[in-house]
Amino acid sequence: MTDDLSPTDRAKFAAARRAADLVEDGMRVGLGTGSTAAWLVRCLGEAVAAGTRLTGVPTSRRTAELAREVGIEVVTLDEARWLDVTIDGADEFDGALNLIKGGGGALLHEKIVATASDRMVVIADAGKAVETLGAFPLPVEVIPFGWQTTRALIEEALAGLDVATREITIRTNGAAPFVTDEGNHILDLHLGRIGDPHRLSAALNALPGVVENGLFLDICDTVVVGHGDGRAELRDLDAAAPAQAGGAAGAVSRDLDD
């Protein structure tokens, strides 16, 4: 029962459950990566068990494994060709529904899948809402060859951009650099505040060695914000005011595996 969950996990589940209601029979759905997206996959698995037909395109190996485990048909993006909706988490979102993503290390696949969809829906707890992006470290995926040179190029580029701080760290997995599903590394940019996300994104992606960055700009259509009391609030760029869905969140059959 969700009474056993922390307020944060209860909020994540509330957002995931509400987002799952947006998936209609026969849809092709992009499946995000991370703890909140894992709730969504489990909710969709229960819908499949109840008779809903859907096809999932996972954004990581671990999401693919979970989707198969709960009975969702998994295909590649090339097989699906185009998606009706992608539902994913976010590390931050602002009032214009711009995002920082990549805390789970799958930002490249996540951005490709999201932009191959008619609609992107983000699920998040209320703590992910910010006035200005940048408090969460910005992930930048880089190729392993010459990554320290790429880091130096990023440092040079940041010197001319509107950010509060400019610390860069390489993400690790134990003593070794973290490796993405595409075999790349991730540099985390500790910027504090990003004054011009569009300019920063363009500057980063113009650098040799950079594969992609975690700024998702003008991609997200709707954010479903979960609250610890079980409410879920929809923030939509096309809506005049947020809509809410209340009530205590119900149970799912498995515990979240972070």
Whether 21 has a binding-site annotation, put simply, is: no
Whether 146 has a binding-site annotation, put simply, is: no
Query: Which residue matches tokens 């026969």?
Result: 26
Whether 36 has a binding-site annotation, put simply, is: yes
d(CA 234, CA 178): 34
Whether 128 has a binding-site annotation, put simply, is: yes
Whether 101 has a binding-site annotation, put simply, is: yes
Whether 88 has a binding-site annotation, put simply, is: yes
Neighbours of 109 (CB within 10 A): 24
Whether 12 has a binding-site annotation, put simply, is: no
Residue among 46, 65, 79, 110 flagged as catalytic: 110
**Of the candidates 248, 232, 2, 249, which has an alpha carbon nearest to the alpha carbon of residue 125?**
232
Return the CA Rg of the chain: 18
212 is catalytic: no
d(CA 249, CA 241): 23
Whether 132 has a binding-site annotation, put simply, is: no
Dihedral sign from CA coordinates of 57, 61, 62, 66: positive
For the chain, give the number of residues: 258
Annotated binding site for substrate: 33-36, 88-91, 101-104, 128
> Which residues carry out catalysis?
110
User: Residues at the annotated binding site?
Assistant: 33-36, 88-91, 101-104, 128
